[in-house]
Amino acid sequence: MKNPHGILNSEKIDYNFGRNEAPSAPGVRKFFRKVRETGMFIDNRSHPRARPLRIAARIAAVVQSVRENTRISTRHRAQQLNVSRTSLRRILHKDLGLFAYKL
């Protein structure tokens, strides 16, 4: 396999990495194919993940739920509102300025 600096062979890889730590031949071919196609050495996996937003309707539902009953645990409230516990905690803390022990 050719690279910009000459020919890459398994002896050079074994010498530089050690026999048991050398990358596999298919892995090296995949790496060079990616470099030829994209021109980059690093992965281009910087796509932002889809994140559920703390939308106004969901925040309003949490406010209404808190007004109706302050004694419900965050676990049960999250189940009632069909919201994850983490999202509920974020809404309570960041949007409403409440803490679980101060409801």
> What are the pLDDT digits (tens) for 37-93?
877 777 666 666 666 667 889 999 999 999 999 889 999 999 999 999 999 999 999
Q: Which residue segment(s) compose the domain that 22 sits in?
A: 2-38
Exposed, middle or buried, 13 (CB in 10 Å: 0-12/13-18/19+)? middle
The pTM of this model reads 0.49
Tokens coding 46: 């910087």
Q: Are residues 61 and 31 in the same domain?
A: no
| 46 assigned to some structural domain | no
| 65 assigned to some structural domain | yes
Q: Which one, of 98, 55, 57, 51, lies nearest residue 74 by Cα?
A: 98
Length of the chain: 103
Q: Are residues 63 and 97 in the same domain?
A: yes
| 17 assigned to some structural domain | yes
| 7 assigned to some structural domain | yes
